[in-house]
Amino acid sequence: MNAKPLPEGFRLLPGYFDRAGQEALLAAIRKVVAAAPLFTPVMPRTGRPFSVRMSNCGPLGWVSDREGYRYQAHHPETGEPWPPMPGQLDDLWAMVVPNQPPAQACLINYYGPGARMGLHQDRDERDFSAPVVSVSLGATAIFRLGGTSRQAPTRSFRLSSGDVLVLGGEARLAFHGIDRILPGTSTLLKDDGRINLTLRRVG
């Protein structure tokens, strides 16, 4: 099992944020969500709701509705611009993606009980040269990583609170998803809650 080398550009940085760092980041995200409430996106065409709820911060935010997936500068329900990117996330991006322009978008995914995320590629950006950088907070998740075709073999990792994951290079367009959340693993968020933040350049 798992004898295959990881794709170039895949980096898991366990415990990047310590407990105090996680609490400070969570406080910043709570402020974002107070101004830009979580919304329930729906799948293009079918209108089927996602099990995760979402918001965004930074200049652009990712949204999904019956019209499709896209980045836009305003919240789909309030019409307000997304709140600014918290400083900790600008700092993280600068550490992990040095000498590059700042991230343009931070998608906030909130997982309540039973939420998951199907296998997908992050490919709604115009430019794939920058990696996607994620931070996990709260309950531990089982993250599945595949290849650049949906049929490629997959392997699984645990993402715990404070972990940072980087998908760049060959891993930038790898299929990935969240199979499930492990109950009873969150001391940061109540009711097995989990937040994943994904930072990107949109191009």
> Of 159, 138, 28, nearest to 90 (Cα)?
28
How many CB atoms are closer than 10 A to CB 191?
A: 10
Q: Which of 143, 123, 161 is nearest to 16 (CA)?
A: 161
The only residue of 57, 60, 122, 186 in contact with Fe ion, by rule CB under 5 A: 122
Task: Say what angle helices 87-96 and 19-35 make with each other, to 10 degrees.
Answer: 120
Which amino acid is located at 105 in the chain?
Answer: A
Least distance between ligand MD6 and beta carbon 79 (Å): 26
DSSP state of 178: E
> Is 117 a binder of ligand MD6 (CB under 6 A)?
yes
Binding track, positions 121-160, relative to ligand MD6; x by CB under 6 A? -x---------x-x-x----x-x---------------x-
The least distance separating Fe ion from the CB of residue 120, rounded to whole angstroms, comes to 6
165 binds ligand MD6 (CB under 6 A): yes
Q: Is 167 in the site for ligand MD6 (CB under 6 A)?
A: yes
In whole angstroms, the minimum distance from the beta carbon of 117 to Fe ion comes to 7
Return the one option of ligand MD6, Fe ion, none that residue 165 interacts with (CB less than 5 to 8 A, by type): ligand MD6
**Residue 174 contacts ligand MD6 per CB under 6 A:** no
Least separation in angstroms between residue 192's CB and ligand MD6 is 14
Residues 6+ apart with CB under 8 A from 151: none
Cβ 17 to ligand MD6 shortest distance, Å:
14
Shorter beta-carbon distance to ligand MD6: residue 109 or 160: 109
Q: Please report the DSSP string for 15-84 in residue order.
A: TSS-HHHHHHHHHHHHHHHHHS--B--B-TTT-PBPSSEEEEESSBEEEEETTEEEEESB-TTT-PBPPP
Number of chain positions touching ligand MD6 (CB under 6 A): 15
By CB under 5 A, the residues from 2 to 41 that bind Fe ion are none
Give me Rg for the CA atoms of the chain: 16
Please report, as ranges, the residues that interact with ligand MD6 according to CB under 6 A.
109, 117, 122, 132, 134, 136, 141, 143, 159, 165, 167, 176, 178, 196, 198
